[in-house]
Amino acid sequence: MDYALEINHLTKRYKDFCVKDISLKIPKGTIMGLIGENGAGKSTIINTILNIAKKDEGDIKIFNKDVYQYESVVKEDIAVIFDECHFNPNMKPDKIGIMMSKIYKNWNQETYLKYLNQFHLSKDKKIKEFSKGMKMKLSFAVAFSHNPKLLILDEATSGLDPVVREEILDILKDYIVNDENAVLISSHITSDLDKVADYISFVHEGELLFTKTYEDIQDNYGILRCGKQMFEILNKEDVIAYKKEEFEYRVLIHNRQDFMKVHTDAIVEKADVEDLMLFYIRGERVL
């Protein structure tokens, strides 16, 4: 399998926090969602990929090139979109196009103008007059106009209205129709990842808890709703975590289909990305 991004045993230490021994791979033609609570280490991972933060251990490759050894070459192949538009608010999109054409060898002005038109963005309007959604669309227009193969989004859909978010998710799905492209999207809006992600990597307190295919999550994880009597006879190996509520227990299980064959009367719902995140972080463990 060919990978767009490979991270092996990445460690980055700060005075009061550490991202430790992170390993993950994003195959070409796929979207990976990076989840975790605020401060879990998602942005630190992205910053080390971009060499904004210097790694302490491990290695990172983009399209089989070491990101530190071949930084200038690698950065031609990637585009990054953060949660805020970082262009000078007094600039206009037409001037941004001129500026970016001097930065990227593969800049395509025709593509840039096409996206400005598609997103209904005026070339002659100052960025400070744009809404947040318009600023994000401008960031995407810039990102796509130098033909990147890896797109990295760090909370880029945060704060956008549902219509704009849906439009951006459609753009991402179109982007990976080209199976040479890939996306890493860090987001706390897990419902977005339910719509587009092929893989989910879960970071908690600086550690990677797991990387799973979205198909695996859909097929195998479930939320059991049961009373105390049933909860007390559950096989502990079936239970990842649980929440005790006023009138019932809600239990995250990892073998939903097999469980339902044994417990034919059980009420088991499919788990989504948010369920996994909440149960792993806030759920109680069976001792």
Measured CA to CA, the distance from residue 143 to residue 107 in angstroms comes to 10
Residue 159 reports pLDDT greater than 90? no
Q: What average pLDDT does this structure show over 39-52?
A: 93
Q: At what angle do helices 93-101 and 132-144 cross, to 10 degrees?
A: 30
pLDDT the model gives residue 287: 65
Predicted TM-score (pTM) of the model is: 0.92
pLDDT the model gives residue 63: 95
Considering only CA atoms, give the Rg of the chain.
21
Contacts of 279 by beta carbon, 8 Å cutoff, 6+ apart? 240, 241, 242, 243, 252, 271
pLDDT the model gives residue 60: 97
pLDDT the model gives residue 161: 84
CATH number of 3-216: 3.40.50.300
Whose CA is closest to 140, among 110, 172, 173? 172
Domain-by-domain residue ranges, the chain? 3-216, 221-285
pLDDT in tens, 86-114: 899 999 999 999 999 999 999 999 999 99
Residue 22 reports pLDDT greater than 80? yes
pLDDT in tens, 226-283: 999 999 999 888 999 999 998 999 999 998 989 999 988 888 999 999 999 999 999 9
The residue type found at 29 is: G
pLDDT the model gives residue 132: 87
Q: Which carries the bigger pLDDT value, residue 36 or residue 160?
A: 36
Contacts of 134 by beta carbon, 8 Å cutoff, 6+ apart? 119, 121
pLDDT the model gives residue 158: 81
Residue 286 reports pLDDT greater than 80? no
pLDDT in tens, 193-226: 999 999 999 999 999 999 999 999 999 999 999 9
Q: How many percent of the chain have pLDDT more than 90?
A: 79
Q: What average pLDDT does this structure show over 7-19?
A: 95
